[in-house]
Structure 1
């Protein structure tokens, strides 16, 4: 094996060992926007029910129904912390219409090690140049973009009292790849400082 081959083999061996290192997890702050109606005094007290937003459908089955229950339970807990009593829809004075979404951004797959070799021969001997590019992250994690939207209405009049949206991104190797953890983070961020300032967007860590 000549010197060039030995250098390339050694670098490949060390690079492949490094390529197994896990990519670091990423979690963004939660972006929250709220809109508050003039009847804000009605918010944060009395009875409320968490229901599917129009368009989600009443007959929810399977995984979608389970996901809705996860987000509804998280929102119900956050509303209770703000002074509401969460009850079934038939007994509620207000309703919180909930929608949720998760979008998956697939990460591109990259080769873990790239090696380039260049050699030259001159009057006083030979030189070997070796360039190595190593992707230390291995498989790049996918990004999960999660969001919820909530509209609180007076049930009797259907008047909108409050509306809010919350969203954040996290890689699938983070703690928030889990639906329960993500739902709780979104719900509590949305209710941070409830009802909030009309039209204001804040970031919650």
Structure 2
């Protein structure tokens, strides 16, 4: 197909700095979604669409289906339709996704035992030699925290000539223990942010809470 990705290199460069910063600084349970979109500027005609994995990428899997379903739902809510049985779709929505884990700073256990001393002398209260101060130590080993960065990319292509008419990418990070770190929750959050105000302003990166 011709012109498989008119915007791929541009969008990758636009997101590189934001992706690096996001991965290094996320310490909250769930962060916002960084979204960048590109399109040709002309009004986008709607039509029938099918969702497919990125050619040459990971094979279709249950996790891919989670992201594909989320993207399909957003496409249908933005005026696209499901093709009739046996009929080819007018558009292809090519979906890619990635999930990476990055360790945040280790965190000590908050529980500690303190040992303190008061003044004593030969069993008598009051004067004499005194032992004062104290020490404390944590219970258990240090527990490292990790963040999961989830990324979703979508290209909408005309089936007839392979032209990319719209492309977008969304990225977010969450503490691995947060519900938003789960694949189904991340897929929904990313796809909603990616298609918010579709088609969106071309070439601009926005942050969606």
> Please, what TM-score do these two structures have when normalized by structure 1?
0.71
- In 2: Cα distance, 1:72 partner to 1:118 partner: 60
- CA separation of 1:55/1:125 partners in 2, compared to 1, >3 Å: closer, same or farther? same
- Give the C-alpha shift of residue 133 in structure 1: 6.1
CA RMSD of aligned residues (A): 3.3
- Alpha-carbon distance change, 102 to 76 in structure 1, aligned in 2, over 3 angstroms: same
Q: Which residue number corresponds to residue 37 of structure 2? A: 34
Once residues 101 and 198 of structure 1 are traced to their aligned partners in structure 2, the CA distance between those partners, rounded to angstroms, is 23
Offset, 1:188: 0.8
User: Is contact 1:143-1:171 (8 Å) kept?
Assistant: yes
Aligned to 1:164: 168
**1:104 corresponds to 2:105:** no
Which whole-Å CA distance do the structure 2 matches of 1:202 and 1:156 have between them? 31
Q: CA deviation at 1:130?
A: 2.5
1:80 aligns with 2:76: yes
The answer to whether the 8 A contact 2:36-2:204 is kept is yes
CA offset digits 1:135-167 (Å, max 9, x no partner)? 9xx744421100011111111111111110001
The alignment of Structure 1 onto Structure 2 pairs a total of residues equal to 173
**Would you say the 8 A contact 2:41–2:202 is kept in 1?**
no
1:107-118 residue pairs with structure 2 within 5 A?
111-112=108-109
- Work out whether residues 108 and 143 of structure 2, in 8 Å CA contact, stay in contact via their aligned partners in 1: no
Distance of aligned partners of 1:111 and 1:201 in 2 relative to their CA distance in 1, 3 Å threshold: closer
Aligned residue for 1:161, secondary structure, equals strand
Report the counterpart of residue 122 of structure 2 in structure 1.
none
Could you tell me which runs of 5 or more consecutive residues in structure 2 were left unpaired when the two chains were aligned. Answer: 1-26, 120-126
Q: Which has the higher helix share?
A: 1
Q: Distance in 2 between matches of 1:89 and 1:100?
A: 28
Whole-angstrom CA distance in 1 between matches of 2:86 and 2:78:
18
2:152 paired residue number:
148
Distance in 2, matches of 1:89 and 1:66, equals 24
Aligned to 2:200: 196
In structure 2, distance between residues paired with 1:184 and 1:111: 33
